[in-house]
Chain A
Amino acid sequence: EIVMTQSPATLSVSPGEGVTLSCRASQRISNNLAWYQQNPGQAPRLLIYGASARATSVPARFSGSGSETEFSLTISSLQSEDSAVYYCQQYSDWPLTFGGGTKVQIK
């Protein structure tokens, strides 16, 4: 099983600041990596697929990068509505696995 490790577990950021979330895969997964945003009580929302492609209607302040085992999600200028938990997920091999999540809080 491919283990996805996210860091840090929690981030506290001021509005307007940039933030980078990390995700590491235990095996090489090429660019088969997605990022999701989840607000309390809601289903996950796809932000990034293919490690760097933005999903439909996702603001340009969200960007993804990386390949094989090291990935990152950057929010260039944090807005209040970006307060959420962010998950990475690999879809390179079975079973599909998610990282433990990074909670982004607004100061």
Chain B
Amino acid sequence: EEQLVESGGGLVQPGGSLKLSCTASGFTFSGSALHWVRQASGKGLEWVGRVRSKAYDYATAYAASVKGRFTISRDDSTDTAYLQMNSLKSEDTAVYYCTRYRSGSDKFDAFDIWGQGTMVTVSS
């Protein structure tokens, strides 16, 4: 079964840092781009960023709202992607999902596999 599992969420103070993990199973992780999408309580979905595969030099892209504060990376040896979040703000409070393209590759496509999400709360 193709699966993504997030971990690492929790409560953090404004200005603090947190690192989320997303572990894949059941598909060829190394060939897939991996994305992060977040959802504040009662709100819609917001794309956060993505990391491409080795074939594309692990290139990253970010939403304007997190650029310069968040960093996405990956470790293909453990089929895990990471979202390092620094300088956190209250507006970063959300459920964070990792997801991949339907094609399982690195080309524009819909998202077919989603993790269950991990909650991040930024509050003093």
Question: Which residues of A are in contact with B by a Cβ distance under 8 Å?
Answer: 32, 34, 36, 43-46, 48-50, 55-56, 87, 89, 91-92, 94-101
Question: Which residues of B are in contact with A by a Cβ distance under 8 Å?
Answer: 35, 44-47, 61, 63-64, 97, 102, 108-112, 114-117
- Provide the residues of chain A in CB contact with B114, threshold 8 Å: 43-45
Whether B97 lies near A87 (C-beta < 8 A) is: no
User: A94-B61, A95-B63, A95-B64 known; A46 and B102 CB under 8 Å?
Assistant: yes
Chain A residue nearest to B108 (CB atoms) is: A91
Residue of B46, B47, B110, B114 contacting most chain A CB atoms (<10 Å): B110
- Provide the residues of chain B in CB contact with A36, threshold 8 Å: 45, 111
**A–B Cβ pairs within 8 angstroms, 16 of them:** A32-B108, A34-B111, A36-B45, A36-B111, A43-B97, A44-B114, A45-B114, A56-B112, A87-B44, A89-B45, A89-B110, A95-B64, A96-B35, A96-B47, A98-B44, A100-B44
Whether B112 lies near A55 (C-beta < 8 A) is: yes
Query: Within the complex, what minimum Cβ distance (angstroms) separates B13 from chain A?
Result: 26
- Provide the residues of chain A in CB contact with B110, threshold 8 Å: 34, 46, 48-50, 55, 89, 91
- Give the distance in Å from the alpha carbon of A48 to the alpha carbon of B64 in the complex: 27
Whether B47 lies near A49 (C-beta < 8 A) is: no
Within 8 Å by CB of A92, from B46, B108, B115, lies B108
Within 8 Å by CB of B117, from A43, A45, A89, A94, lies A43
Chain A residue nearest to B101 (CB atoms) is: A91
